[in-house]
A and B are shown apart, each in its own frame.
Chain A
């Protein structure tokens, strides 16, 4: 196990190196002089010169990169030009909001996706199975920002049950926090629930035809017990690891959901930074998201080995 972990950690180094090169390289895509883009309306040559010196734009690409990586490794992701605050501070403020949304979305999708997947597999070939599959296909094909708009229309505009937008912290007022996040969390988890449903269904179908399920049935166990205790427990292994991996994808989906519901999270931070040409924030947020994704990937691999006794040896 330790050898496996060591090997996986070593593999992270080149991946993280290339991630940093890609993200830093984005700045090189800026058409024209990056200093001009950073200065915005300001065209004063003295200011431009100062920007070039401050961001080392007068140095070769690799020197700029080394300075940037040096900063990243010491916890300095740069400073937001718009908000005049360190990128790390901004991320620290916004990340808990998005994490709350993402965790709620995962709970939603696990409950809906796994339950629907099990029902669909157990009732294979019936109208219920087709119905669940249709709902899953609908979930995968619906853009989450449109679903968000439609739910605002129904629950906020027409029924008036929930607020249309905004966010209240869980620490401030838990009940109001739940009211402001329940719709966005559902929207965020919608397509993930559909993916989970498909994976659970296919894993359950495989498990239901396995020898251990046949043995459990032969022992005379009740069908409910066979399904829940024997088939589902084994079928859930790939589903759990998939769940860990999807947290990274949910961070990406949060960009649109937070925009629709005006939630001041990680996603809104990146969109606002893009429109205000706050490149340090764009780079910082992308780097943190990618690193989180890579670490979750590692955790998923380790969890998979830990859960599966055959791989442990």
Chain B
């Protein structure tokens, strides 16, 4: 009897669990997504606890320890000014993660309301927003980000604004598409029939239903934003020295490739790990939140 009733209990639990709990249950089944999530949590901890973890001040120069290879004292070696690379990689996580989260928040904050307006605001509003979005998407992402960062002036803050603005059309288009699909559903029609104003329908009825797609895109966009920040910093348009950033560390490392290879390896591995983990989580979330799998 027990073997017969167990699947029934599980099925009943599945019916009663919240969408969030269901998505979580599916997500933790995917080993690669869990691995991505664990690495992200570790990176966040490293960034937050940087002053406690880093053995040295990341800006502290040491003229007697210039370009020293990895050792017990300096795990990742030292750079051209004798600064401890391990400490700089740890502090660099702050710039990269902040750039990822802040720029995607800017893109979400602008893109979602504009996308809702396009999808729900009528033909002309939709056409106008659609053409502007097309125009922004036509400008290659990095070139537009470089141009924006250049006109705003080189700094981490401006790099985040530039990446956020160039990522915005992706969220406008996604939100608009999702709204178009959802707004003909019965529950939206019902909400309209009982006299709810359009803003309330958009925020209370449509937004919660398009949230899964937005979460997946946001996760993948964080990975793209981390690469974009590293790229801008590599070009000298992001985090300014002496503040540590993985991208600018790679820029410096290029000049010492033949005699200090460690300067190029560790910041690159850090970018790769951060981007890979967000991509793994994004892929896992896409599967876990896919309504077709319910």
Instruction: Show the binding face of A for B, using Cβ within 8 Å.
Output: 14-19, 21-23, 26-27, 29-31, 137-138, 140-143, 145-146, 149-150, 152-153, 157, 164, 248-249, 251-253, 255-256, 259-260, 270-271, 274-275, 277, 279, 282-283, 285-286, 289-291, 293-294, 297
Q: Are A153 and B257 in contact (CB under 8 A)?
A: yes
Q: Could you say which residues of chain A place their CB within 8 Å of the CB of B279?
A: 137, 140-141
Among B147, B234, B253, B276, find the residue whose CB has the most chain A CB atoms closer than 10 A: B147
Give Cα distance in the complex from A251 to B142, angstroms: 10
Q: Does B49 contact A (CB under 8 A)?
A: no
Q: Chain B 227-251 against A: per-residue CB contact (8 Å), 1 yes, 0 no? A: 1001100111100000000000010
- Whether A18 contacts B235 in the complex (CB less than 8 A), given A137-B276, A255-B142, comes out as no
A152 touches which of B147, B257, B280 (Cβ 8 Å): B257
A18 touches which of B135, B152, B223, B276 (Cβ 8 Å): B135
Q: Does B264 contact A (CB under 8 A)?
A: yes
Q: How far is the CB of B262 from chain A (nearest CB, A)?
A: 11
Q: Are B135 and A19 in contact (CB under 8 A)?
A: yes
B142 touches which of A17, A22, A23, A256 (Cβ 8 Å): A256
Stretch from B19-27, B80-88, B179-187, B267-275 contacting the other chain = B267-275
Looking at chain B's contact residues, the main secondary structure is helix
Q: Does B153 contact A (CB under 8 A)?
A: yes
Give Cα distance in the complex from A19 to B136, angstroms: 7
Q: Are A289 and B257 in contact (CB under 8 A)?
A: no
Instruction: Show the binding face of B for A, using Cβ within 8 Å.
Output: 131-132, 134-136, 138-144, 146-148, 150-153, 223, 227, 230-231, 234-237, 250, 253-254, 257-258, 261, 264-265, 268, 271-272, 275-276, 279-280
Looking at chain A's contact residues, the main secondary structure is helix
Q: How far is the CB of A202 from chain B (nearest CB, A)?
A: 13
A293 touches which of B140, B253, B276 (Cβ 8 Å): B140
The 10 closest A-B pairs by CB, nearest first: A252-B140, A18-B135, A146-B268, A274-B150, A141-B276, A29-B151, A14-B131, A141-B275, A19-B135, A252-B142
Residue of A nearest to B139 (CB): A290
Residue of A nearest to B237 (CB): A274
Give Cα distance in the complex from A111 to B74, angstroms: 43
Q: Are A22 and B231 in contact (CB under 8 A)?
A: no
Q: How far is the CB of A188 from chain B (nearest CB, A)?
A: 12
Tally A-B pairs: CB < 8 A. Answer: 134
Q: How far is the CB of B253 from chain A (nearest CB, A)?
A: 7
Q: Are A145 and B231 in contact (CB under 8 A)?
A: yes
Q: Are A274 and B146 in contact (CB under 8 A)?
A: yes
- Whether A289 contacts B250 in the complex (CB less than 8 A), given A29-B151, A141-B272, comes out as no
Residue of B nearest to A156 (CB): B257
Q: Are B131 and A251 in contact (CB under 8 A)?
A: no
Q: Are A275 and B236 in contact (CB under 8 A)?
A: yes
- Whether A286 contacts B131 in the complex (CB less than 8 A), given A141-B279, A143-B231, comes out as no
Give Cα distance in the complex from A283 to B134, angstroms: 18
Q: Are B131 and A143 in contact (CB under 8 A)?
A: no
Q: Are A149 and B254 in contact (CB under 8 A)?
A: yes
Q: Are A289 and B152 in contact (CB under 8 A)?
A: no
Residue of A nearest to B136 (CB): A22
Residue of B nearest to A266 (CB): B143
Q: Are B250 and A149 in contact (CB under 8 A)?
A: yes
Among B132, B139, B258, B261, find the residue whose CB has the most chain A CB atoms closer than 10 A: B139
Q: Could you say which residues of chain A place their CB within 8 Å of the CB of B261?
A: 153
Q: Are A290 and B140 in contact (CB under 8 A)?
A: yes
Residue of A nearest to B144 (CB): A286
- Whether A143 contacts B264 in the complex (CB less than 8 A), given A31-B153, A256-B234, comes out as no
Q: Are B235 and A149 in contact (CB under 8 A)?
A: no
Give Cα distance in the complex from A290 to B280, angstroms: 31
